[in-house]
Structure 1
């Protein structure tokens, strides 16, 4: 996956020739890896620009993956309004308007005035976001209006547990579809697991990745549910991060909760498929259990599908 060309150009235009951006990028990446990403790493203009270069593309890739997988479960869902809580520079909205072209009204809430300003500037390169409504507010005390799609991405980990619970409950009350996205770490998953229980208690149906509302079977066995998206690095991205590879893998966890009916409750592949000579092994979170499935070459069409299957894809366990 790669970010849209217009977003890449807009980021490069803002960050071009800024001294110290490589050092700032290292600070941002280090804070993210440690799970200590709050407002501190973005305390200077250079750190914010570095964030655009090294974190915005990865966040975009995760958000686009989540929206696509959710869309597969809700093919008839055509949201007209979008609310992004804790929007940063608007990363999730870039992915959302690409996957949901029906969106006509966009609102973004962000407390950091400089990130908000940068996001507004980037949005001028995206036709569906040019007239978005940017609101300067602290989401910890924000009361949202009704929207078809509400997104909270890479934000809940910056809040205290009670603050996250209040925000998610408030968001769920006004959304037809609520999507939460966080880094793919055990700590972030633990927070997500608690919020999943809260949403189910409040009447939500899990659209993705879960095919059920039972207790998470990965949580029961002491594991954590997360996924990965491979992002194509630009030459500038490689230069700033000092990397030699032409890609990086962004790991994340997510929940898509809806109050709309779902016709399809197929399982989800929760680990990389293991491809052997003549058979493929899949680990699938199915509606009734966590299953290890072996697909042999004798099954022909199913075997061909299994060889093409990827971590995070839907899979029928029957």
Structure 2
């Protein structure tokens, strides 16, 4: 567990003090159903009160933080540009701000969020941990923003919007940012939403920096990645889990107007580590899918053994 993970878990533990377990569990059950079904309703009340916000933060915030951190780490690796200002659209309780601060400790983040309960909890969690974070209370449908920023994040937001609202939000982001990072659940529908955003970003003059090592059409029906995170005892109990970890699957795109360092290829599935060989499924810089087998006798074998799903290759 990283230091930022530890800080986030500690902040959540403080927020949970005195909260009745049974009440929290009922809210978690309702939230989990809504998340799994990917309900689309950009007029729904969402986090209607403090307990809704806390249920979301306990169950979803650590996983959202890990997925956003992975996407932002790819942006840091592939883009030649500093990040000192960050705008998070629909940022809820602030997972993207935590992820950005883990990579760029001096970054100043503005979070645009419409739910007062989420904002109050986000501020409480950030207190003493994220000094350069501020919230703006606004609906994304009417928000017009201020000046340009280095980075805009849209994390787990498009799945809650209608098609037109998604397009409008993405266009708004293109007018504000040098770099845009969009993250969605790692489902087939999440991947399709990422592809729609990717096409729109390219149409507005952005280049794709990650995960795609090319600017052409996506060559697969379903591209997603996974990040592993630890579960607390409460987290396991609320989700009826038995393992002390979970894998958060996510889809994402990083697009920018800045110079990029493109990867030769990207590992798009969990590598198969067989006896005396490693099998890698790659998306290549030519926009094609390729499967390679790296035998133990090859010079690249050691590198292949340590390569993970989502890593660059070559």
Which residue does 1:315 correspond to in 2?
313
Using the TM superposition, give the Cα deviation of residue 62 of structure 1 relative to its aligned residue in structure 2, in angstroms.
0.6
Residue 141 of structure 2: SS of its match in structure 1?
A: helix
Residues 1:68 and 2:68 are matched in the alignment: no
Residues 1:112 and 2:111 are matched in the alignment: no
The equivalences for 1:32-111 within 5 A come to 32-36=35-39, 39=44, 42-74=47-79, 76-103=80-107, 105-111=108-114
TM-score between the two structures when normalised by the length of structure 2 = 0.93
Residues 1:11 and 2:12 are matched in the alignment: yes
Which residue does 2:249 correspond to in 1?
251
Q: Please, which of 101, 125, 130 is the counterpart of residue 128 of structure 2?
A: 125
Using the TM superposition, give the Cα deviation of residue 37 of structure 1 relative to its aligned residue in structure 2, in angstroms.
6.8
Any unmatched runs of 5+ in structure 2? Answer: none
Residue 65 of structure 1: SS of its match in structure 2?
A: helix
Q: Distance in 1 between matches of 2:173 and 2:72?
A: 17
Q: Distance in 2 between matches of 1:4 and 1:13?
A: 14
TM-score between the two structures when normalised by the length of structure 1 = 0.92
Using the TM superposition, give the Cα deviation of residue 41 of structure 1 relative to its aligned residue in structure 2, in angstroms.
5.5
Change (3 A) 1:186 1:95: same
Which residue does 2:154 correspond to in 1?
152
Residue 275 of structure 2: SS of its match in structure 1?
A: coil
Q: Distance in 2 between matches of 1:276 and 1:5?
A: 35
Q: 1:31 touches 1:41 (CA, 8 Å); kept in 2?
A: no
Using the TM superposition, give the Cα deviation of residue 247 of structure 1 relative to its aligned residue in structure 2, in angstroms.
0.4
Q: Where has structure 1 moved over 4 Å in runs of 4 or more?
A: 37-41
Which residue does 1:298 correspond to in 2?
297
Q: Distance in 2 between matches of 1:91 and 1:195?
A: 21
Q: Distance in 2 between matches of 1:244 and 1:40?
A: 32
Residue 292 of structure 2: SS of its match in structure 1?
A: strand
Residue 4 of structure 1: SS of its match in structure 2?
A: helix
Q: Distance in 1 between matches of 2:295 and 2:36?
A: 39
